[in-house]
Amino acid sequence: ILNVEQSPQSLHVQEGDSTNFTCSFPSSNFYALHWYRWETAKSPEALFVMTLNGDEKKKGRISATLNTKEGYSYLYIKGSQPEDSATYLCAYQDSGTYKYIFGTGTRLKVLA
Amino acid sequence: ETGVTQSPTHLIKTRGQQVTLRCSSQSGHNTVSWYQQALGQGPQFIFQYYREEENGRGNFPPRFSGLQFPNYSSELNVNALELDDSALYLCASRSGGDSTDTQYFGPGTRLTVL
């Protein structure tokens, strides 16, 4: 059974704080790692697709890193804003089946 | 907006009934995946369709079945509904059967089984 774990489950930060959370995944049969941002009552929104060990991606104040050898990815948010409040999901894509295996998400609340 | 639509938005059924959920893919996307998200869980992969053929399945019983049509829209059918089938059902479309291309999700159908 392939497990993808995210931590923390939830966190509250003050506006302006920087924050980061972790996605752990199997280091074998790695194909890709996907990050999604999911606001309540909306569709999950794709943030990044990462495929290479050492990859770093950036989109505005959000960035992500990837370590496929040890099986983890970090998502960073710099200077959090209330509109960043959402659930952040990661999904591991397996090279054998190409299926997406999602973590349970990190629920972020940014307080004004 | 992702261009992926799902219907209905909400649905209430009773145990033993059958349900059909629908998904319209983003234009140009030939691959559709369905996911079940139960409370407190991440989305769980049900199955994937590529050019009208099922080409991947998660750990769901046969009473979960699907179809993909020539226009790449898709249906998820669930027979003999159980209480545990209550969940948010998401579909996602992308181009290419086996690739890292981004999946685009619909807003989901909330199914409640009483």
Do B33 and B25 contact (CB within 8 A), yes or no?
A: no
Residue pLDDT, tens place only, A61-94: 999 999 999 999 999 999 999 999 999 999 999 8
Look up residue A52 and give its two tokens: 């290479």
Residue linked to tokens 């993909």: B68
CB pairs under 8 A between A and B: 55
Residue pLDDT, tens place only, A90-106: 999 988 877 889 999 99
* B53 bridge partner residues: B50
- Interface touch A43/B45, C-beta < 8 Å: no
With an 8 Å Cβ cutoff, is A33 touching chain B?
Answer: no
Q: What angle do CA B114, A105, A60 make, to 5 degrees?
A: 135
Amino acid at B92: A
Per-residue confidence (pLDDT) for residue B1, from 0 to 100 = 67
Look up residue B32 and give its two tokens: 């559709």
For residue B35, give Cα distances in angstroms to B32, B42, B88. 10, 9, 8
Residue (of A100, A75, A84) closest to A23 by Cα position: A75
Using 50, 70 and 90 to split pLDDT, how confident is the model at A2?
low
Q: How does strand B19-24 pair with strand B5-7? A: antiparallel
Q: Closest to A104 (Cβ–Cβ): which among B1, B35, B41?
A: B41
- Interface touch B33/A103, C-beta < 8 Å: no
Contacts of B39 in chain A (CB under 8 A): none
Residue pLDDT, tens place only, A23-51: 999 988 899 999 999 998 899 999 999 99
Which residue of A lies nearest to B5 if distances are taken between CA atoms?
A43
- Interface touch B103/A46, C-beta < 8 Å: yes
With an 8 Å Cβ cutoff, is A44 touching chain B?
Answer: yes
Residue linked to tokens 């299926």: A99
